[in-house]
Amino acid sequence: MYVQVDREMQQVQEAKRLEVEARSFFMYVEEELRRSDRFETPTRYVLCFRDDAGGTIMYWMTGNRLCRQVNGTGYVVMLQYVSRVEFTVFPNGCQVYIELTKGGASWKGEVFIAKRVELAA
């Protein structure tokens, strides 16, 4: 009985770690997307856009990792333990949905990120 309780506690703790990683990713991508435009999703698993400096940024899933690339060179792993990712582009922003799984623990979440709004002077 104690082994099962201990295993359940470990899964709860691991799910919380996954949530912290996911929310950190959401905060990063939200800041980046708010300063960007021209969102495109060649597939639901790939997001491309232009940043405020004119660079082309791409997020995509490979294996169980979510990667980020700038101007087609190199890449950085942004998030691990990804079992599913979906990007949906709307006229006023982008929705990001992710599922993370590690061992028996999992976490699912999504965020809608609105484009920046420029007010006329």
Q: Give pLDDT tens digits for 3-16.
A: 566 777 888 898 99
pLDDT, mean of residues 56-66: 95
Kindly give, in sequence order, each residue whose CB lies less than 8 Å from that of residue 42, ignoring residues fewer than 6 positions away: 48
Model confidence at 99, pLDDT cuts 50, 70, 90, reads very high
> Across the chain, how many H-helices and E-strands are there?
1, 8
**Is residue 106 helix, strand or coil?**
strand
Output the DSSP codes for 40-91.
Answer: E-SSTTEEEEE-TTS-EEEEEEETTEEEEEETTEEEEEEESSEEEEEEEEET
Indicate whether 59 pLDDT > 80.
yes
Instruction: Please tell me the pTM assigned to this model.
Output: 0.84
Q: d(Cα 93, Cα 108) in Å, to the nearest integer?
A: 20
Average pLDDT across the chain, whole number: 88
